[in-house]
Structure 1
Amino acid sequence: MMGAVAETIRRKLEAAFSPSALELVDDSDRHHGHAGHTGAGESHFNLRIESQAFAGKTRVMRQRMVMHALAEELAGPVHALSIHASAPGDA
């Protein structure tokens, strides 16, 4: 079951990129004692997203596209987001 932050992230990514694959993992528990960890969860995430929107874009451009779509969450509850963004057919 996903929390409110994860649901918001998923909804925004689906609206922005119409992904063919999307995997979002709340990794907050692994960061106990680290900066940004509040104990409430939903502060650290791993994201794997595949979308045609990333075709022809560099890795940095893809990450910036995702960060732009999630600017509000990254300025607030999300302390860390690991992003793996690919286009269909990428190796």
Structure 2
Amino acid sequence: MRTQAIIEEKLQALDPTVLTVENESHMHSVPANSETHFKVTLVSGRFQGLMPVKRHQQVYTLLADELAGPVHALALHLYTPEEWQARGEDRPASPNCRGGSGS
């Protein structure tokens, strides 16, 4: 099973109303067809009353194996349904990669 599919499957445990997992590896200095850099946008009622760090910890716990192995970078955008609606249901754009040299 591909890494992206595994991430999508594991995040179902948070009962998302919106879940988008984007493989952004092609935007980085990695070999073609890599699955190392992902952006996750997840909306869940389970985040109600939780500070962002607690939301991130829930995702990190679910994806511990992937973060210990093939996933190098994981951008998380985690919202309650109310927060998602207030932002106009708009996913944040990802910054351009600065490459391995940092320049």
Shorter-chain-normalised TM-score: which range? Answer: 0.7 to 0.9
Residue identity in the other structure for 2:8: R
Once the 2 structures are TM-superposed, how far is the Cα of residue 39 of structure 1 from its aligned partner?
4.3
Equivalent residue number for residue 100 of structure 2? none
Equivalent residue number for residue 56 of structure 2? 63
CA RMSD after TM alignment: 1.3
Query: Is 1:54 paired with 2:54?
Result: no
Equivalent residue number for residue 77 of structure 1? 70
Query: Is 1:24 paired with 2:18?
Result: no
TM-score (norm 1): 0.86
* Structure 1, gaps ≥5 residues long: none
Cα distance in 2 for partners of 1:54, 1:73 equals: 22
Q: Select which of 8, 11, 25 maps to 1:10.
A: 8
Larger Rg: 2
After TM superposition, the runs of 4+ consecutive aligned structure 1 residues lying more than 2 A away are 37-40
Deviations 1:45-75 (A, max 9, x none): 0110000111100011111111111000000
Q: Secondary structure at the match of 2:81?
A: coil
Q: Sequence identity, in percent?
A: 37
